[in-house]
Every structure is written in C-alpha cells, then in structure tokens.
Amino acid sequence: MKKQSRKPRPTPKGSPVYSYTSQCCNAPATKPPCQYLGSKSKEAATQGLGTFRCTACHKVCTCKRTKIALDKAPDVAVE
C-alpha cells in the first residue's frame, strides 16, 4: 500500500485590513516595492521597505492608519 503524500496548498491572500492616509495632503500613502524581489540574497531578508510616501506630493510623510470595514474592502487581484 502506498503512502499518500501531502501536497502544499496555496493560501489565498486576503484583502488589506488597514488603509494609510498621509497627514500632509490627506491622500493615500504607499510604500515603495522591495528592490530585491525575486532574488535570494541575504540583503533581501534584512532590507526594509522604507517609509511611507504621499501619492499626491511624493514626499516622505507621516500616516494615519484606519481600519477598513470588510464589506467596503476593495477587491484584490491575485496573480
């Protein structure tokens, strides 16, 4: 009798829980993407994503975090 092997199942990514708003322009704030995406270097594990930037003026900003209601959460496309 063969042993059944367990195959890893992909976990679905949920929608974002918090939205970040810049205090300078009251616009949504984002973080830059990881520059080491896809590489297996040690720098990728130790490198942070940096600070939030305002989408209106593109300056480094402080943010106010608000929780998104689950019924109002935007749909996120999973690639």
Distance between CA atoms of residues 37 and 11, nearest Å: 20
pTM of the model: 0.54
Q: Is residue 78 part of a domain?
A: no
By residue range, what is the domain housing residue 25? Answer: 18-69
Q: Is residue 79 part of a domain?
A: no
Q: Where are the beta strands (DSSP E) in the chain?
A: 18-22, 29-30, 53-54, 63-67
Q: Is residue 75 part of a domain?
A: no
Q: Is residue 1 part of a domain?
A: no
Distance between CA atoms of residues 62 and 53, nearest Å: 8
Task: Identify the residue whose tokens are 């749909």.
Answer: 75
Q: Is residue 4 part of a domain?
A: no
Q: Is residue 47 part of a domain?
A: yes
Give the pLDDT band of residue 4 (cuts 50, 70, 90): confident
Q: Is residue 59 part of a domain?
A: yes
Distance between CA atoms of residues 65 and 63, nearest Å: 6
Share of the chain above pLDDT 90, in %: 24
Q: Is residue 28 part of a domain?
A: yes
Number of domains in the chain: 1
